[in-house]
């Protein structure tokens, strides 16, 4: 079974690759890119956008939505799901998987994509909203330089 293509769901690279197109890349289309449509862009469809489909959006398909496919959803494919392809899954293609295609992979091949905001922002939002259990789990896999208290204090 392969990960489904979900119409209208906007995603950005969210792995730990610094290569072009990777989750930590600041180049165009990278997960930390601030250019239009980038993973850290605040413009419409960006990973830090609060508008519909954005990474910081709470509306359907948004990175902070609790509805199906949302970043705060615990249902299948949701950002807080531990089932296959879920954001908190450690199995192949899961958000916490270190294998190729996973969210904690450093590989530039088969880059993990998600509708959540960049990891430091996502952790900060989880903690602000009381999802401490999810934050604790993610911190077990996420390098500490991406923890909000470290990431946002870098001058």
In a domain, 2, yes or no: no
> Mapped to the 3 state alphabet, what secondary structure does the chain carry?
CCCCCCCCCCCEECCCCCCCCCCCCCCCCCCCCCCCCCCCCCCCCCCCCCCCCCCCCCCCCCCCCCCCCCCCCCCCCCCCCCCCCCCCCCCCCCCCCCCCCCCCCCCCCCCCEECCCCHHHHHHHHHHCCCHHHHHHHHCCCCHHHCHHHHCCCC
Report residue 2's pLDDT band, with 50, 70 and 90 as the boundaries. Answer: low
pLDDT tens-place string over residues 68-98: 999 999 999 999 999 999 999 999 999 999 9
In a domain, 155, yes or no: yes
pLDDT tens-place string over residues 21-69: 999 999 999 999 999 999 999 999 999 999 999 999 999 999 999 999 9
- Tally of domains in the chain: 1
Domain that holds residue 36: 12-155
In a domain, 98, yes or no: yes
The structure's pTM equals: 0.95
* Average pLDDT for 97-105: 97
């Amino acid at each position: 079974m392969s990960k489904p293509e979900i119409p209208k769901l906007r995603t950005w690279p969210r792995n730990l690759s610094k290569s072009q197109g990777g989750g930590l890349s600041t180049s165009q289309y990278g997960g930390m890119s601030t250019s239009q449509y980038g993973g850290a862009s605040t413009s419409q469809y960006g990973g830090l956008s609060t508008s519909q489909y954005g990474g910081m959006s709470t509306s359907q398909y948004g990175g902070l939505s609790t509805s199906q496919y949302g970043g705060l959803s615990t249902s299948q494919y949701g950002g807080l799901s531990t089932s296959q392809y879920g954001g908190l899954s450690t199995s192949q293609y899961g958000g916490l998987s270190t294998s190729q295609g996973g969210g904690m992979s450093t590989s530039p091949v088969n880059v993990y994509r998600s509708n959540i905001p960049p990891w430091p922002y996502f952790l900060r939002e989880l903690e602000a909203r009381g999802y401490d259990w999810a934050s604790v789990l993610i911190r077990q896999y996420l390098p500490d330089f991406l923890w909000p208290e470290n990431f946002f204090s870098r001058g």
